[in-house]
Structure 1
Amino acid sequence: MKRGSGADFEAYVASRWRPLVRVAYLMTGDWNTAEDLVQAALERCLRHWSRVVADGAEDAYVRRTMVNLHINAIRRQRVRELLTFQVPDRAGADDHRRVDDRDQLYRALRRLPARTRTAVVLRHYEGLSEDATATAMSCSVGNVKRLTADGLRTLRGYLRIQMADVRTASDEGGRT
């Protein structure tokens, strides 16, 4: 198969779709928006796929395109959606704690400003270096450090509040 061909692009999409959608979900907070974001990014990348493949940086190029499209969409938004808590399906008693923890983290992530959330997701979920995150976000390494530090501090605060609410609710439940 020739590098940069349509078949090469299809193989890339087939192998990377789910990881890209997971990253997009963490950036957007919504599965449908995440899939739309990945699809739009891949559509843009297809136009220049032979050049992208020649550079050997497919993931970095697609990720940067996703970040740029996401930031542009946020800038165009006039009215923000109000996201509400939705009880997840639980597979069993053993998964109860893990699902709750993940849900709390997703809710806390959605409360972060978009650029801060993007920096935290790229650094700590995707595991990118500060340099790679700065490149993907078109900003300085210092800005990535600041955004990440602010985001983690804010997340810790949100999660502490959520845990206190959970403890209070469980204490009140035991008294009735």
Structure 2
Amino acid sequence: MQTTSWEDEFREYVTARGPALLRAAHQLTGHPLDAEDLLQSALTKTYQAWERIEDRGALDGYVRRAMVNINISQWRRRKLEEYPSDELPERPAACDPAGSSSSEVHEALEQALRELPERMRAAIVLRYYEDMTELEIAKTLGISVGTVKSTVSRAMAKLRTALELPAQ
């Protein structure tokens, strides 16, 4: 079977950028298998639009935007099966960032992010991993700038509590 040059170009892009995009998807979903599904859906959309994408330098942004949009659509459709709580469950071990290795701190942060509600996790990922402005986050999530500010603030407070960091 003969492939066209753009199919080869797409394959090379996925090979080169796949791991980084999968990490971003994992931050959005909080679960490795969900992240793989999300990335696959985003890459399918990218593949379908590949010939129309003129700026190849913006491909990561295109795929990330597709992941955010797909993720938002999925959690808008899903019924609320988890209910927020004021109390976090007990943690098996305390996290001491001052005395822990960077991999332990990273793992503790990953766990704390997974425990956040989806909207909070999405706001944190967009703000601190994707470096989006509050206005950009508001447009992406379909919420007001004030809601973005309060969501990020509450999420950061939960992360500090989960990581046993001092409040700022």
TM-score (norm 1): 0.67
Runs of 5+ unmatched residues, structure 1: 87-95, 164-176
In structure 1, C-alpha distance between the alignment counterparts of 2:149 and 2:56, rounded to whole Å: 27
Q: What residue number does 1:66 align with?
A: 67
The counterpart of 2:109, out of the listed 96, 105, 110, is 105
Aligned pair count? 147
Q: What residue number does 1:40 align with?
A: 41
Are 1:7 and 2:5 counterparts? Answer: no
Residue pairs, 1:153-172, within 5 angstroms: 153-160=157-164
Q: Provide closer, same or farther for how the CA distance between residues 31 and 122 of structure 1 changes in structure 2, counting only shifts above 3 A.
A: same
Q: What is the CA deviation profile of residues 46-77 of structure 1, one whole-angstrom value per residue up to 9, with x for unaligned ones? A: 11122233485322221111012112222344
Q: What residue number does 1:145 align with?
A: 149
Q: What residue number does 1:166 align with?
A: none
TM-score (norm 2): 0.70
Q: What residue number does 2:124 align with?
A: 120
Query: Aligned to 2:54, what secondary structure does the other structure show?
Result: helix
In structure 2, C-alpha distance between the alignment counterparts of 1:34 and 1:127, rounded to whole Å: 20
Query: Aligned to 1:39, what secondary structure does the other structure show?
Result: helix
In structure 1, C-alpha distance between the alignment counterparts of 2:111 and 2:141, rounded to whole Å: 23
Letter in 2 for 1:154: K
Q: Which runs of structure 1 show a deviation greater than 6 angstroms over 4 or more consecutive aligned residues?
A: none
Superposition CA RMSD, Å: 3.1
In structure 2, C-alpha distance between the alignment counterparts of 1:147 and 1:100, rounded to whole Å: 26
**Alpha carbons 2:123, 2:151 under 8 Å: kept:** yes
Q: Greater helix share, 1 or 2?
A: 1
**Alpha carbons 2:113, 2:121 under 8 Å: kept:** yes
